[in-house]
């Protein structure tokens, strides 16, 4: 039984090693295709540049490149200016909104304080009036009782 297992493991290792070695040697150099493409593209670019130099097109291309660069720089500046103005306007609007909300809160508190103060003054007046009425009623009751006692 042990011998069979050992044979099976040895055979598996042998087959795995053979497959791994065969796969390693079977692969081709994939970089060769990329190298060939790069060399071909580089050679074509060199020929194109040489042709333009011979036709005196390179200075024209340089001027066109400078013009396009200047246009892009100008556009970038305009876009940056627009962004700055927009951000400033948005920030100003946000500040105004918060300011208005704060003013509304202050106005609500002002009305609340004013109503409470008025209520407190009114409550004080009523309390004072109640005391005065109670005292007058107490005196009237006492005088009525005294008058009633005198008449008896």
pLDDT attached to residue 32: 72
Cα within 13 Å of Cα(151), Cβ side: 6
pLDDT band at 1 (very low <50, low <70, confident <90, very high): low
Of residues 138 and 29, the one with the higher pLDDT is 138
22 and 14 Cβ atoms separated by less than 8 Å: no
* DSSP string computed for 89-113: HHHHHHHHHHHHHHHHHHHHHHHHH
pLDDT, tens digit (0-9, with 9 covering 90-100), for 95-138:
888 888 888 888 888 888 777 766 676 777 788 888 888 888 88
Is pTM beyond 0.85? Reply is no
Do residues 52 and 61 make contact, with C-beta atoms less than 8 angstroms apart? Answer: yes
């Amino acid at each position: 039984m042990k011998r069979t297992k050992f044979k099976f493991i040895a055979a598996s290792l042998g087959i795995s090693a053979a497959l791994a070695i065969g796969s390693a040697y079977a692969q081709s150099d994939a970089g060769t295709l990329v190298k060939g493409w790069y060399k071909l593209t580089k050679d074509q670019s060199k020929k194109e540049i040489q042709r333009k130099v011979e036709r005196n097109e390179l200075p024209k291309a340089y001027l066109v490149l400078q013009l396009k660069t200047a246009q892009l720089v100008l556009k970038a500046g305009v876009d940056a200016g627009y962004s700055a103005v927009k951000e400033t306007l948005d920030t100003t609007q946000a500040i105004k909104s918060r300011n208005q909300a704060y003013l509304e809160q202050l106005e609500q508190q002002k009305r609340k304080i004013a109503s409470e103060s008025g209520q407190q003054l009114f409550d004080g007046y009523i309390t004072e009036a109640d005391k005065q009425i109670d005292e007058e009623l107490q005196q009237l009751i006492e005088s009525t009782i005294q008058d009633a006692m005198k008449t008896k």
